[in-house]
Amino acid sequence: MAAIFKFPGVAFITGAGGTGIGAAVARNFARSGCSRIAITDINKKSLDQTQEAILRINPKVQVYSQEGDISDDTFVDSFTASISKAFSQIDYAVNCAGILGDSLRSTETSVSVFDKINNVNYRGMWLSSRAALSQMLKQEPLADHPGQRGAIVNIASQLGIVARPGAAPYCASKAAIINMTRSDAIDYSRDGIRVNCVCPGVIDTPMTTSSEEMIARLKPAIDIAPMQRMGTSEEVASAVLFLCSTSSSFIQGHALVVDGGYTIS
């Protein structure tokens, strides 16, 4: 993707490991001239791959990378404090870390599975969003971002808007993210912070292609979407970077679907 937006500030991305949406967002910040990028993921090996990919795009980018569990408040608070110490600010926070879970109806789902999905998807996103907001409140808008002290983009899902079989905890966690986004957008507008979310459809990432069972499970959802294909991580990253950029300066509390038309059909 060619660079469209400019990012003179500091980007912070969770779930940035590997070949998924977070990694694509991190690479696209680097391609768009962002020179200070903080990344985290629970998987150190895949996180290292993202760091290498960023440095291949631009060896001058300062990358601050640390593996950890996004549902652990101690880790989230200490990592964001370290970013603030290293880079003095956080201007664009993109919360991507998430898990899908097995295809089970609620009566087949254990409490521990429910807690795990919600702890990573909802609690983890609230923790990292809250930590970024805390730092953003302490900083002044950059000269290139008049009026924008920070921008947060949470990755929800089309399944926060519509539901699918066998995924009640996941669907609910993503719906929670959409309304958490709106609530934070209301609360922090007066501070010059924009909070939006992106709702991807079925995207070709390890989450959706890691097994034959998963591919078969998602095929009907691809077939009924008007565009009848999976999206790419790059297509989601483009929407995320738009929402972080000053080109979206009047967009607040929005849930932007990137789903090939799934939710309109």
Which residues are catalytic, by number? 170, 174
Considering only CA atoms, which of 88, 116, 92, 90 is closest in space to residue 102?
116
Contact 32, 58 (CB under 8 A): no
C-alpha triplet 100, 168, 238: angle, nearest 5°? 45
Number of residues that bind ligand NAD (CB under 6 A): 28
Binding mask 148-177 for ligand NAD (x = CB under 6 A): -------x-x--------------------
Say how far apart CA 132 and CA 116 lie, in whole Å.
23
Contact 64, 53 (CB under 8 A): no
Q: Is 178 in the site for ligand NAD (CB under 6 A)?
A: no
Q: Is 37 in the site for ligand NAD (CB under 6 A)?
A: no
Q: Which of 203, 225, 240, 255 binds ligand NAD (CB under 6 A)?
A: 203
The distance of closest approach from Cβ of residue 226 to ligand NAD in the complex, given in angstroms and rounded to an integer, is 17
Applying CB under 6 A, the span of 68-76, 132-140, 141-149, 242-250 interacting with ligand NAD comes to 68-76
Say how far apart CA 185 and CA 84 lie, in whole Å.
22
Q: How far is CA 67 from CA 44, 79, 125, 188, in A?
A: 5, 9, 16, 29
By C-beta, is 95 or 248 nearer to ligand NAD?
95
Q: Is 235 in the site for ligand NAD (CB under 6 A)?
A: no
Q: Which residues make up the interface to ligand NAD (CB under 6 A)?
A: 15, 17-18, 20-22, 41-43, 46, 69-71, 96-99, 120, 124, 155, 157, 200, 202-203, 205-208
